[in-house]
Structure 1
Amino acid sequence: MMASKVEKTHALQQCFSTESLISSLGLGIFCLVADRLLRFPIIHQNDWLRALSDNIVHGVIGMWSWAVVIGIKKKADFGEVLLAGFLASVIDIDHFFLARSLSLKAALTLPRRPFLHCSTVIPVAVMSVKLAMHLLRLRDAWCFLPWMLFISWASHHIRDGIRHGLWICPFGKTSPLPFWLYVITTLSLPHMCSFLMHLTGTRQMMSSKHGMRIDV
């Protein structure tokens, strides 16, 4: 029991280091500035510019969130960060699947929200990835992937929540999230993820396999 408490205390210290707190503060400021800029008429009134800018912001938040989790100390880390950004952005492809068209106008005027925007999909997808990794014996080399998928998709859903609320199947939808709650949740999400990775031994495994520092 004592060892468990020591480990939790050590994990908390590492997850809330000065470096990671400054990085997450920068993430919060980015969220504030980016979403204010997207309201400018020149962007908001142009479908292509609005969709592209919105998707880029999703990607940057995903990249920044994962960078807070792992810290960028070498080129290999930047590759992971890019993958996190891709995962955070690629969700929006389901708009085109539901529209059954490559038309942006059709994708933006859907009768309902597409399936990847159901927040219940996130734990299902994470557990599916973990199961696939177990079956393919990739648990060590790709141990970070379920966590990356979680933080990338969760950040996307939380940001969408300020406009549409969260869609939690089969219970329905919540009211739109207050902007302050979106910002606070987004900047705290990497710390929560990092702490859970410490407790489950994932960060220690990443350190031993890839030489990643765990004192972020």
Structure 2
Amino acid sequence: MVEMIFLKFVIVWGGLLITAWPVNNFVENLVLKLPPKSLLRASDTVVHGLIGGFSFWLTCHLCPDLVLDVSCLFSSFGDGCGRKNKRSEFSYAPLASMFNFAVAFMISCIVDLDHVFQDFIQMINGGVRVPWERGVLHLSLPPLILTLILYISAAIFHYIWCLKFGTLIIVCIFSHHVRDGIHHGLWLHPLGITPKLPQWLYIFITQFLPLVTSGVVSILLYRIKSKLILTNEIYIV
């Protein structure tokens, strides 16, 4: 059992490393040779999505409480929400993993929508947008602040869903910003823009962000569950 868990960890982490390094380099070299409006340039956004998907998958593997529970959604087509057993949980596990990966994938890709909005606005105004110009979704400070607020809220009010949403934001949206930081730095408006991130630092942050996040969340979860158990015991007494 332990060997299987470790093997899954290695596979997911390896998928993240392969996507963030060789696949990223291949796509970036490919994009440079494509026309600016080519649909194939969307492959760059797909890499963002894969990094976000693998990052959240890895974080959930290390901290299973972060998994988005969709068992009722899947069981509604089968046994029903009121009846759970080991067989049904095993059957729905792959679907749940796919669902969590897909949610993280889409959140990571959504950041690039501001490019579409800017292109649309510039088309209406008749101007030409600078190719590397970023929109509001590429601001790096808001996701960091929002994640901090959600984590603090989880610690104070014992809301586990705050941890889930905060984790999605940090490992999906911020990882998108880190990858873009290779070319333009992190946009920490109004504090300024950081220098361009070296590739080794981008890979390091991408690989260890899920590990650090899962560690922080595990500590918060331990405190939340301890307080909830203590509260229930008080009510019982």
| TM-score of the pair, normalised by structure 2 | 0.65
Any gaps of 5 or more consecutive residues in structure 2?
A: 1-5, 62-66, 68-92, 226-237
- Corresponding residue number in structure 1 for 2:59: 69
2:134 to 91, 96, 113: 113
Distance 1:45 1:74, change over 3 A: closer
1:28 to 7, 17, 21: 17
Structure 1 or 2, whichever has the larger Rg, is 2
CA distance, structure 2, for counterparts of residue 111 and residue 19 of structure 1: 37
Query: Is the CA contact 1:58–1:89 (under 8 Å) kept in the aligned structure 2?
Result: yes
Q: Is the 8 A contact 1:38 1:50 kept in 2?
A: no
Q: Extract unaligned runs of 5+ from structure 1.
A: 1-16, 206-216
Q: Which moved more, 1:187-196 or 1:74-83?
A: 74-83
The one of 190, 198, 212 equivalent to 1:170 is: 190
The one of 96, 106, 109 equivalent to 1:86 is 106
User: Is 1:51 matched up with 2:41?
Assistant: yes
Aligned counterparts of 1:94 and 1:44: Cα–Cα separation in 2 = 23
- Within 5 Å, give how 1:10-21 maps onto structure 2: 19-21=8-10
In 2, Cα distance between equivalents of 1:170 and 1:22: 39
Contact 1:25 1:187 in 2 (8 A): no
SS for the counterpart of 2:112 is helix
Q: Any idea what SS the aligned residue of 1:200 has?
A: helix
Pick one of 173, 192, 202 that aligns with 1:153: 173
Question: Aligned to 2:211, which of 173, 191, 198?
Answer: 191
The change in CA–CA distance for 1:140 and 1:107 in structure 2 (over 3 A counts) is farther
- Tell me, in whole angstroms, the C-alpha distance in 2 between the residues paired with 1:19 and 1:35: 22
Q: State the secondary structure of the residue aligned to 2:172.
A: helix
For the residues of structure 2 that align with 1:32 and 1:144, how far apart are their CA atoms? 27
Matches within 5 A, 1:95-106: 95-101=115-121
CA distance in 1, matches of 2:223, 2:42: 34
The aligned amino acid for 1:65 is S
Q: Is the 8 A contact 1:95 1:108 kept in 2?
A: no
Q: Which residue of 2 aligns with 1:5?
A: none
Inter-CA distance 90–132: structure 2 relative to 1 (3 Å threshold): farther
Please, what TM-score do these two structures have when normalized by structure 1?
A: 0.71
Partner of 1:11: none
